[in-house]
Amino acid sequence: MRVTQALALLDLHPAILDAIRALPPGTPERYVGERRLRPLTGLPEREQIREIERLVPGLLSRKGRGVA
């Protein structure tokens, strides 16, 4: 992974970043790896939310992290 790819992940919606940070250690990379998240970085925030729920159902709804 290049530095630019890693930095692009910072463009994800804050709720997505919070949910990823809250994942327990040892969560498989295939669940929320950079390659899986990369296509979301070019989307508007509303579409990022819709797409992450399709890719990783329930990620944002854990522990009250739903997005209005």
pLDDT in tens, the chain (68 residues): 689 888 989 999 999 999 999 999 988 888 888 889 999 999 999 999 999 999 989 899 865 545 54
Residue tagged 């970085």 (tokens): 41
pLDDT of residue 14: 95
> What sign does the dihedral 9-15-52-22 (CA atoms) show?
positive
- pLDDT reported for residue 45: 93
**pTM of the full predicted structure?**
0.80
* Measured CA distances, 54 to 1, 4, 45, 48, 49 (Å): 24, 25, 14, 10, 9
